Amino acid sequence: MNYLRLNINSREIKVKPGTTVLQAAQASGTYIPTLCADPDLKPHGGCRLCIVEVKGMRNMPTACTTIVSEDMVVNTETEAVHKERRSVIDLIIADHPMDCLTCIKNQRCELQDVAAYLGITERNLPRTIKQKPIDDSNPFFTFNHNYCILCQRCTRTCDEITGVNAIEIINRGYNSKVSTFGDKPLMESICKSCGECVARCPVAALVAKNSIMPTSKIETTCPYCGVGCMMELGIRNGKIVSVEGSRSSQANNGRLCVKGRYGIADFVQHPERLVQPLLRKSNTLIETSWEEALNIVAQKLSAYSGDQIAVIASAKCTNEDNYIVQKFARSVLGTNNIDHCARL
């Protein structure tokens, strides 16, 4: 493999050809502020915050769209660069609500991060913000256009990642807005509510409903289908309060669908959910132990064999569970009558 050498802030770095300056910087632990870049999306170059100085280049290029070339010399921390970044942030702040303490994204907001990094302590420009509508139609998340900074991470996600293209930018310039066909509420659109856009929104424009900050996280597999998406459940006080896709999983690369993202906590914590086996005794279901239940099942199953018996597995089991089921059916029960309810 060929490597290219470049120099970022006087440090020598080696990267693979095709790497962007932003990726190179991030890989070497150098922070470059950005609001529109996302590791899963193609470079956009819209927020202009990742501008850097590159020796020999006339203007300040954006790190996210500039491909590394051999012996490139990049400086991400000059005063000139910071000055321009501050003017960009000034413009965004003048067009953004200033209610950080009461904002749901407080402390999880990328705009806050960038403003803090650039040392913004006051609003320098007159307000341009106007009252904009809130789309509350979706049962799982809210779209509050007042917070939207038009970074287009959501629309690009809907295009590049999910391929649904339910949301797009409509109108142009200052009147641009993320919206749907006919500028209708999300629920009247072809949106599948997968929430991939919500996961990527850097600010409080797209936020999950009823979301509170967890105190710990548990990694698990999504119980909805056989894909085996890995997810991180956010736990607080013994309850699931948030769900995120695990980036480390090769099955889903951090992605989830509407069921995994928004359909877990409700059924896991549902008061009527079965958590113990029930045994029917004289027409009444009575809670029993796992040991007793399994004994009874084993006893009853051993009365049948071969074509006398069929096995139906659940799509809510993992792939591994289903593998065990069919193995059990074929080699223990001796039947090939196996089906699966993968029709969730």
Partner 1 sequence: MAKIKTSKLSAGQRTVFLCHGTGCVSNEAFAIRKAFEKSIERLQLTDIKVDFTGCHGFCEQGPIVFVQPEGIFYAHVSLDDVEEIVYSHFRDNKPLERLMYKDPSSSEIVPYFKDINFYKKQRHIVLRNCGRINPERIEDYIATDGYQALQKVLFSMTPHQVIDEVKISGLRGRGGAGFPTATKWQFCHDAPSDKKYLICNADEGDPGAFMDRSMMEGDPHSVIEGMAIAAYATGATEGYIYIRAEYPLAVNRTKFAIKEAEERGFLGKNILGSDFSLKIHIKEGAGAFVCGEETALIASIEGRRGMPSSRPPFPTQSGLWGKPTNINNVKTLATVPLIILHGGKSYSQTGTEKNRGTSIFALTGKINCMGLVEVPMGTKLADIIFDIGGGIPNGKKLKAVQTGGPSGGCLPANMINLPVEYEAFANAGSIMGSGGMVVMDEDTCMVDVARFFISFTQSESCGKCVPCRLGTKQMLNILENICQGRGNITDIDLLQNLAQSIKVSSLCGLGQTAPNPVLTTLSYFRDEYEEHINDRRCRAAVCTGLVTYSIIAEKCPGCGLCIRECPVQAVTSSGKKKPVILDQSKCTKCGACFNICRLGAIAVK
Partner 2 sequence: MNSAFTREINSILSDFSQERGNLIPILQHVQEKFGYLPEEAIQAIADFLHVSSSTVYSVSTFYTQFKLTPLGEEVVKICRGTACHVRGGPTLQRDIERRLSIKPGETTKDMKYSLETVACVGACALAPVMIVNNRVYGKMTPKKVAELFNGKN
Which chain residues interact with partner 1 by CB under 8 A? Answer: 43-48, 51, 59-62, 65-67, 83-84, 87-88, 91-92, 94-95, 125-126, 128, 149-150, 152, 169, 171-176
- For residue 165, the minimal CB distance to partner 2 (Å) is 4
- How far apart are CB 164 and partner 1 at their closest, in Å? 17
Of the residues 181, 267, 304, 323, which one makes contact with partner 2 according to CB under 8 A = 181
Please tell me the distance from the alpha carbon of residue 146 to that of residue 143, in angstroms, as a whole number: 9
174 binds, among partner 1, partner 2, none (CB under 5 to 8 A by kind): partner 1
Q: Tell which one of 166, 206, 257, 313 touches partner 2 (CB under 8 A).
A: 166
- Work out which of 142, 144, 180, 249 binds partner 2, going by CB under 8 A: 180
Question: Min. distance of Cβ 81 from partner 1 in angstroms?
Answer: 10
Q: Can you say whether the dihedral through the CA atoms of 76, 81, 84, 86 is positive or negative?
A: positive
| Spatial distance between the Cα atoms of 219 and 221, rounded to a whole number of angstroms | 7
Assess 190 for contact with partner 2 (CB under 8 A). yes
Residue 162: both structure tokens together: 């999910």
Alpha-carbon distances, residue 320 vs 10, 46, 225 (angstroms): 50, 44, 12
Is-contact 63 22, C-beta < 8 A?
Answer: yes
Using CA atoms, how far apart are residues 92 and 146, in angstroms rounded to an integer? 12
Paired strand residues for 284: 281
Judged by CB under 8 A, the residue of 41, 94, 120, 170 near partner 2 is 170
Q: What is the 3-state secondary structure (H, E, C) of 14-56?
A: EECCCCEHHHHHHHCCCCCCCCCCCCCCCCCCCCCCCECEECC
Q: Is 200 helix (H, G, I), strand (E, B) or coil?
A: helix
Question: Is 41 a binder of partner 2 (CB under 8 A)?
Answer: no
Only one residue has tokens 């970074």, namely 151
Select from partner 2, partner 1, none the partner in contact with residue 190, using the beta carbon and a kind-dependent cut-off of 5 to 8 Å. Answer: partner 2
Task: Say which entry of partner 1, partner 2, none residue 166 contacts (CB below 5 to 8 A, set by partner kind).
Answer: partner 2
Per CB under 8 A, the segment of 180-188, 198-206, 291-299, 328-336 that binds partner 2 is 180-188
CA distance 105 to 204: 5
User: Closest approach of Cβ 36 to partner 2, in Å?
Assistant: 18
Site for partner 2 contains 169 (CB under 8 A): yes
Residue 161 CB, nearest approach to partner 2 (Å): 14
Q: Which does 68 bind (CB under 5 to 8 A by kind): partner 1, partner 2, none?
A: none
Cα–Cα distance for residue pair 71/54, rounded to 1 Å: 11
In terms of residues, how long is the chain?
344
Residues contributing to the site for partner 2 (CB under 8 A): 164-172, 179-183, 189-190
